[in-house]
Amino acid sequence: MRWTMSLIIGLAIATIAQAAPSDLAIVSGKSSPAVEISREQAERLFLGRLDALPDGAVVNPVDLPPGPVRDQFYLHLTGKNPNQIRAYWSRLVFAGRAVPPKQAQSVAEVKSLVNKFNDLIGYIPISDVDNSVRVLLRIE
């Protein structure tokens, strides 16, 4: 019985690890004024604590839908798990202090949005980066 439970837990962890990509990239459109951002700036942007870069360029983040990529992004960027992120945004929204990032429905939509609107940035798996986007920061 104990061996079976260990096997099930091990398989579950392996499945989750395979479902989530290992590297992510924060991206903008090719014509965006944003060229590069620091990890600290990215964290502050995606947590609603910053809305412009030091050069004055306004930046608005775009989230992927809930799932393993989004969970991995916030965990690696902020150290917060999905429950902590939901609680964080609930408090800010309730207090009227911030609005969570706009949510895209897919990686393709993130790429489309960042190219359509110069003030948007998003994150995608590094394997989905192509010549339609500019990598601002790599999250490993």
pLDDT tens readout for residues 79-98: 999 999 999 999 999 999 88
Question: Which tokens hold the place of 44?
Answer: 């502050």
CATH of domain 23-139: 3.40.190.10
* C-alpha–C-alpha distance, residues 100 and 47, integer Å: 8
Q: What is the mean pLDDT of residues 3-31?
A: 62
CA distance 71 to 58: 25
In the chain, what's the furthest Cα-to-Cα distance? Answer: 60
Q: Record the pTM.
A: 0.82
Domain ranges of the chain: 23-139
Specify whether the CB–CB gap between 26 and 37 falls below 8 A: yes
